[in-house]
Structure 1
Amino acid sequence: MAAGRLPHANPDRPAGLYAVVGVAAAVMLASVPVRRAMTPDPATVPAATTIREVQTGPPWEYRHSAFPVTHAAGHPWV
């Protein structure tokens, strides 16, 4: 790892800037309840769904990068 860089940071962005932005976001979100930050009634994907189906099916139209996975009965996969 290069000096002054975080392992997960964008290599084109200095680690110091990354840390400042991360700290600012953490401070701004510190008092926000999780329920306010989450999508209510999110689109879900049954566990048996293939990646191809997710990429071409209706849930992908929501433009989310991740979906909660559910059991066949519709309960969250934990």
Structure 2
Amino acid sequence: MTSRTLQRHLKHDNTSFQEEIRRFKAALATSLLSQKERPISRVAYQLGFQDVSAFHKAFKRWTGQTPGEFQKSLL
């Protein structure tokens, strides 16, 4: 698929490439954080964040809770 075709499909679905990346990262983050033995810093690194605090802010924006709160809610 060409980039232009992808752009048209995304526009048809009222979304953007950046929005789809955000959704993917949020879903992957929650999946990885569900594995309680995996440290938050490791998840941040796996998602491409160089700073754990930036991951915390992004995760809170995505889900409304911090990564630690999310893990505690799984108990």
TM-score w.r.t. the length of structure 2 is 0.29
Higher share of residues assigned strand: 1
- What TM-score comes out, normalization by structure 1 length? 0.28
Pick the structure with more helix per residue. Answer: 2
Determine which structure has more spread, i.e. the larger CA radius of gyration.
1
